[in-house]
Amino acid sequence: MTDGTATPARIIPALGRIYDPLTPYTYPLIRFVTGAMLIPHGWAKLVSGSPAGLGASLAKMGLEPAYALAIYIGVLELVGGTMLALGLFTRFVAAQVIGFMAVAAFKVQWGAGFFWSKGGYEYPLFWGLMALAILIRGGGELSLDSRIGKEL
């Protein structure tokens, strides 16, 4: 196990019958959930809510052009989240999410500390790091990128 490639023996070997066939689906699950969990946020900003409210908040923080950024964020979460979930233009969308979450974590929520329950940067940092992993890995075999045969 010194070369880092050996798999440790399972404590319960019979679980291999569950783990082994499901392993190819773990990364697509992570990519899908990462994208899918952005969708309701975008929906709330663009459809059930108002981008103007978010725009006003962004303007108070000095983030301009605030209304355009509010629209961008809503579209990124709604459309980009859908694209991530499906694995379409995966790396491009993941890069956008990383940037958005970096601003959210370090510009907007940093001063509130770490914990999301107190308005801190925990949530955007986590999702930004998930997007970073997706950026590095790409869409994977079970993605529309793979079906198209091209990705960034």
Reported as type and span, the H/E element at residue 134 is helix 122-137
**pLDDT of 114 above 70:** yes
Amino acid at the residue 64: E
The whole-model pTM stands at: 0.88
Contact 90, 31 (CB under 8 A): yes
**pLDDT of 1 above 60:** no
Take residue 132 and report the two structure tokens written for it. Answer: 């970073």
Cα–Cα dist 121/134, whole Å: 20
Question: pLDDT per residue over 42-74, tens digit each?
Answer: 999 998 888 998 899 999 999 999 999 999 999
Give the chain's count of helices (H) and strands (E): 9, 0
Give the single-character DSSP code of 102: H
Residue-level pLDDT at 75 = 97
Mean pLDDT of the chain: 93
Question: pLDDT per residue over 80-99, tens digit each?
Answer: 999 999 999 999 999 999 99
Take residue 76 and report the two structure tokens written for it. Answer: 């990124």
Average pLDDT over residues 19-23: 94
Q: Residue 104: name the closest of 83, 88, 86, 119 by CA.
A: 119
